[in-house]
Structures are given as structure tokens and as C-alpha cells.
Amino acid sequence: MHPFSFTKAETTREALNAGRRGGRYIAGGTTLVDLMRETVERPEALVDISGLPLDEVSVTERGGLRIGALVTMSEAAAHPKVRTLYPVVSEALELSASAQLRNMATIGGNIMQRTRCTYFRDVTADCNKREPGSGCAALEGFNRTHAILGTSDACVATHPSDAAVAFAALEARVHLLGPDGERQVPFADFLLRPGNTPNREQALRRGELITGVEVPALPRPLRSGYLKVRDRQSYEFALTSAAVALHVRGGVIREAKVAAGGVGTVPWKLPAVERHLVGERLSESLWAAAAERAADGSRPLRHNRFKVELLKRTVERQLRVVGGSK
């Protein structure tokens, strides 16, 4: 580990001042400390934000839900409002990591977590995300768990967060506070596709702090849920996943929100699947037909071609579970 200074911010202003000077925020520390131990990350100054008042879940004036950046994953998953209004968020969180990790880890840290690509985490391997211009060892390496959507010639790493898939499906907004004040960024614009600059992962400006994630109000009743397919049933990242929310009235799907995880360089919204569903009557044949569009535009690699079919089946199964057929 490289030497670093450590300060605990007592107020948001203190945190922002330290952030503006280049300090790196640390919340639960469950992923940043790992990366520092492996020398993948080498921040010179850590700013502990865990004492800041960003730990509330509240209903917004518009009827949505705002989850503070420092709410832990386990608190968010168990919160009655999250459970009843957006089960898809609750389920995505509960299927993440382990109970101990979820007790420490925060919502802000979760959406900021970095890829689990083994070449990114191995400082002896070429990785454009870690070392811009060095190349991508995953392209010709063992790429079974890598992305099939949103990739570039510079990077094929997946985004590992489960909760981010639910937020992407529901079209959440990220609330930010920086030296220039507050702003909100749609979730779709917050996590960046790699392109030629895979080292730029989020639309954060220098020193900006995530203060919360807002899930918008959606028409009720809303059925929703999350399915995660992985190599083992616990303590494992997704090979594929599907976040689905449907508003059904009179047997007809009026709104559909669908996104996939484990397959994209960012959580992958599926507008073609959504369009196929809206306006349709619930029926057994609908789910497979809609899910057929889930892998549109995919570019599988040598070892992960199976993800194309697995993704379609994951989406189909979760549409059926959430939609039922009545």
C-alpha cells in the first residue's frame, strides 16, 4: 500500500473543501481499501465522509424516493418504502455481496465501485482503464465474464453493481454537490461507456460528492423484481441479471422499465424490449418475443458467446415472474 493521509470530514463543507484539493472520498471502504491494498488505486489523501448527514431515505414531493448516498446497502434493502414501492431495488441489493459487506457498504459507494475485471485488478497486466494507453489484456485473454454490450477496442470490462441495474431500469437521478453547487444527472448519463477513455467512468466533476439517488414516481400499481444469474448462489457477481418494473392496468402493459446487468460496460437499459411490451396484453407468448430484443447490438468475445442466449433467457424469465399472465 502507498502512503496516504486520512481526515474525517465533520461537515459537508469540510468534505467538499478536501475534495476540491484532490482528496478521495471514502464511505464504507469495502472496495476502495481492497484496491489500495492491491495498489490499483493510489490516492494520496482520503477523506472519510461516513459521518455526514446523508443517511436518510425519504419520499420526495413528486412522490418518488430519495436514498441518501450514505444509507448502507442493508438499510436501503430493508427500508419499508423501498421494499413496498420498488422491490426491484431491494432485491438487487439483497442479492449483492454478503451480509457483512452490505452492513458497511453505502449506496454512493455501490454505484461508484470499479470493475471486477481480473486484468484491471492485476497491476502486472495491460489495462487501459488503470493505465491509459497500455492496452487491454482481456480482449485476447480469458474473457468469459466480460461485457458483450457497450464495449470498445479499448475496454470490455463490465460494471459490477446490481443496484445500479435497478436504478438504470427505473431511470433514477444521481444528486451531486460540488464546489459549484448542486446538480442532478440522469442515471443513464452518470456511468460512462468506455470509448477511447475507459479510465473516465463517471460524469463526476473534481471534488463532487454524491448526496443521493432519486428514484422517480412511477404509475401505480407497479410490479417489479430483480433476477441475478451467477456461477454460485451467493457472494458472486452477475453473469447476467435483469431488473424489470411493469405498470399493468386492465390486463394491458402501460409502462415497462427494463435493464440488464453483467453484460454491459455500464448497466444496460433495454428500450427495444420496453417498446415491445408497452400497449400489449399480458400473454404467455409475449415474454419470449420481447426478450428476443435484449441482446440487440451485442458483440460477444471469444469466451462469452453464451451470454447472448443467457441474457435473453434471463430477461424472459424475469418478465414472466414480474408480469405473470393475468
Distance, in Å, from the CA atom of 103 to the CA atom of 96, rounded to the nearest integer, reads: 11
Q: Is 178 in the site for ligand FAD (CB under 6 A)?
A: no
Distance of closest approach, residue 11 Cβ to ligand FAD, in angstroms: 14
Which of residues 9, 16, 32, 295 is near ligand FAD by CB under 6 A? Answer: 32
Q: What is each CA distance from 163 to 207, 231, 307, in whole angstroms?
A: 24, 19, 20
Residue 23: half-sphere exposure toward Cβ, Cα within 13 Å: 21
Stretch that binds ligand FAD, among 83-91, 96-104, 268-276, 290-298 (CB under 6 A): 96-104
For the chain, counts of helices (H) and of strands (E): 14, 12
Q: Is 207 in the site for ligand FAD (CB under 6 A)?
A: no
Cα 26 from chain centroid? 18
Q: Is 108 in the site for ligand FAD (CB under 6 A)?
A: yes
Which of residues 117, 209, 263, 295 is near ligand FAD by CB under 6 A? Answer: 209
Question: By rule CB under 6 A, what string of x and - marks binding of each residue 67-86 to ligand FAD?
Answer: --x---x-------------
Residues that bind ligand FAD (rule: CB under 6 A) add up to a total of: 31
Give whichever of 119 and 190 is closer to ligand FAD, judged by the CB atom: 190
Question: By rule CB under 6 A, what string of x and - marks binding of each residue 39-58 to ligand FAD?
Answer: ----------x---------
Determine the residue type at 230: R
> How is the beta sheet containing 268-269 ordered, strand by strand?
222-229, 240-249, 252-261, 268-269
Give whichever of 48 and 293 is closer to ligand FAD, judged by the CB atom: 48
Residue position matching grid coordinates 424489470: 244
Stretch that binds ligand FAD, among 81-89, 93-101, 123-131, 294-302 (CB under 6 A): 93-101
Give whichever of 225 and 323 is closer to ligand FAD, judged by the CB atom: 225
Give whichever of 26 and 273 is closer to ligand FAD, judged by the CB atom: 26
Q: Considering only residues 109 through 138, tell me which ones interact with ligand FAD, judged by CB under 6 A.
A: 109-110, 112-113
Q: Is 27 in the site for ligand FAD (CB under 6 A)?
A: yes
Q: Is 143 in the site for ligand FAD (CB under 6 A)?
A: no
Give whichever of 34 and 296 is closer to ligand FAD, judged by the CB atom: 34
For residues 259 and 243, the answer to whether their CB atoms sit within 8 Å is yes
- The SS3 of residue 240 is strand
Q: Is 148 in the site for ligand FAD (CB under 6 A)?
A: no
Question: Which segments of 137-221 are extended strands (E)?
Answer: 173-178, 181-186, 209-215
Q: What is each CA distance from 304 to 22, 60, 159, 310, 316, in whole angstroms?
A: 38, 41, 16, 10, 19
Phi, psi of 228 (to 5 degrees): -125, 125
For residues 169 and 271, the answer to whether their CB atoms sit within 8 Å is no
Distance, in Å, from the CA atom of 26 to the CA atom of 22, rounded to the nearest integer, reads: 13
| Chain contacts with ligand FAD (rule: CB under 6 A) | 24-32, 34, 49, 69, 73, 96-97, 101, 104-106, 108-110, 112-113, 160-163, 209-210, 237
